[in-house]
Amino acid sequence: MAKKIKAKKNGQKKSPLKKTSSSQFDSLLQLIRMTSTIIPDDVQRVILKALEAEEKNTTAAYAMDIIKANMELAQKKSQPLCQDTGTVLFYINHPKNFDQMAFTKNVEKAIVAATKKGYLRQNSVSSLTGENSGVNLGPGHPSIHYHQHKKEMVEVRLMLKGGGCENVSAQYSLPDVTLEAGRDLKGVRKVIFDAILKAQGKGCGPGVLGVCIGGDRAHSHAHAKEQLLRFLDDKSPLSDLAKLEEEVVMTANKLGIGPMGFGGKTTLLGCKIDHLNRLPASFFVSISYMCWAFRRQGIVLGKKDEIKKWLY
Amino acid sequence: MKRINYPFTQEAIRELKVGDNVLITGKLFTGRDAVHKYLHEGNKSPVNLKNQIIYHCGPVTLKDKLGKWRVTAAGPTTSIREEPYQWEVIRDHGIVGVIGKGGMGKKTLDACKEYGCVYFHAVGGAAQVLAEKIKSVDGLFLENLGLPEAIWELTVEDFPVVVTMDSHGRSLHDEVFKVSEEALKKLL
């Protein structure tokens, strides 16, 4: 059943772990395994650059060395990079006449199977009783976002976002008197740095920020998180935001927080910012912090629901 | 690089200083949110924690066909959530080490000084490197709390950590926070 496929991503090396699959369920299970165990190439590149940047024989370099070893080991053993396999977030772009309900069932089946195989930890707990469902299903779990597009193909993106980095994510309402942050990009910049300062190493830095300016509270947070689906070397098409994205990373890396908050040169690996319209009365800025163990992957499904292409 | 080996002692713990890279060999007991709440509520610990190290970790565990447990991923979880309880666990149960990530607050730092305990920072997210250091799973307690929340008794070899809060009142986390806060004031 499992055959190797040819590398399709810009002539990059093919991974022996990327195998073809024979059904929607198989493809989704593969996607979960790959996402949980392998850091996507664009993120790996930036992490390895950050490792080079740290001074030798420092605690920061020591942490980065362990991070590198961990990426290699997780891939080799096909075991979770991090024991917190996170909130399971699916983003699906599909053509018209796509059966969302049938797809959701297969997603759930794949999650249960992935939990049994240890690609996912038993990570879904009742907020009322504290009971662990044991299979990663329950109210709100998984989180599935469907979006219809004009293309004929089905794209499935998956992000596994751990609790540590979710806990240091933040939302601000501008103006913020304490931070002296007004309703403009200067104010936005101030609250972003406040979030970085407060996060220190608690979100497992060096991290990546997804930021949304505007929207209502819920949409703002969701959109901030969706920025993390962008490639790490991607720039906002809006020049003001592109500038801010770059400047935030540069300045954050002068703060000396460093990997794990041990002190050091790399505090942020990236920052992706977008905006939504707001009401005249509201001005929210939402910041979604992603840890270095940045688990996201995606697939394009072929006609027989096989994995046709890997997206990252 | 320093080493501490089981059985752990107060004396060995007192010698550790902020910034020390340490390899731990011996026994660890995992315990995170539910365990700390359980102990805080006055319940008796199912294991004697005197002179032991507690590891803030909810591992990924699999049971093989013979019913034997295996830990397949075991990085640290964020420690600050245990800040309300940790000092009490140090005082009442006599633990000499806490492993976690992100650091803890003043209550814990004070307890480390008063009762002789140290905070070890493991690299967050490094679940494979750390799971490899686990040589055996020796016990499972409070399984009813859910597998990630239960107490797992583990034997580890050369488990890599960094001392970020010592028993002399120093905290790397406080120091880095102050430095970064000052730097930010200048850059904003």
From B78's Cα to the closest Cα of chain A, the distance in A is 6
What interface predicted TM-score (ipTM) does this complex get? 0.94
CATH at residue B111: 3.20.130.10
Whether residues A193 and A101 fall in one domain:
no
Domain extent, residue B22, equals 2-187
Establish if A12 belongs to a structural domain: no
Question: Of these residues, B36, B56, B121, B173, which one is catalytic?
Answer: B36
Distances from the Cα of A228 to the Cα of A83, A160, A209, B114, angstroms: 20, 11, 7, 44
pLDDT higher than 80, residue A269: yes
Tens of pLDDT, residue by residue over B105-146, are 999 999 999 999 999 999 999 999 999 999 999 999 999 999
Whether residues A156 and A171 fall in one domain:
no
* Whole-angstrom distance, CA of residue B73 vs CA of residue A39: 16
Q: Which of A126, A260, A295 to mutate to test the interface with B (most CBs of B within 10 A)?
A: A260
What's the mean pLDDT when you consider all of chain B? 97
pLDDT higher than 50, residue A8: no
pLDDT higher than 90, residue A1: no
Distances from the Cα of B65 to the Cα of A97, B62, B118, angstroms: 44, 10, 39
Six token digits for residue A122: 């038993």
Out of A122, A190, A254, closest to residue B146 by CB: A122
Tens of pLDDT, residue by residue over A274-298, are 999 999 999 999 999 999 999 999 9
Over residues A191-216, mean pLDDT? 98
What's the mean pLDDT when you consider all of chain A? 94
For residue A13, the tally of other CB atoms under 10 A from its CB is 8
Residues of A in contact with B183 (CB under 8 A): 254-256
From B33's Cα to the closest Cα of chain A, the distance in A is 11
Establish if A52 belongs to a structural domain: no
Establish if A61 belongs to a structural domain: no
Asked if A131's CB is within 8 angstroms of B146's CB, the reply is: yes
Establish if A285 belongs to a structural domain: yes
From A268's Cα to the closest Cα of chain B, the distance in A is 13
Asked if A254's CB is within 8 angstroms of B183's CB, the reply is: yes
For residue A151, the tally of other CB atoms under 10 A from its CB is 11
Asked if A200's CB is within 8 angstroms of B177's CB, the reply is: yes
Six token digits for residue B97: 């080490």
B102 neighbors B79 (Cβ within 8 angstroms): yes
pLDDT of residue B143: 95
Asked if B180's CB is within 8 angstroms of A256's CB, the reply is: yes
Tens of pLDDT, residue by residue over B77-97, are 999 999 999 999 999 999 999
pLDDT higher than 50, residue A122: yes
Tens of pLDDT, residue by residue over A218-265, are 999 999 999 999 999 999 999 999 999 999 999 999 999 999 999 999
pLDDT of residue B136: 97
Whether residues A213 and A145 fall in one domain:
no
Share of chain A above pLDDT 90, in %: 93
Whether residues A267 and A196 fall in one domain:
yes
Domain extent, residue A157, equals 24-38+81-162+295-310
Q: Which of A15-24, A62-71, B168-177 has the lowest mean pLDDT?
A: A15-24
Catalytic site residue B36? yes
Whether residues A153 and A173 fall in one domain:
no
pLDDT of residue B132: 97
Domain tally, chain B:
1
pLDDT higher than 50, residue A2: no
Asked if A83's CB is within 8 angstroms of B75's CB, the reply is: yes
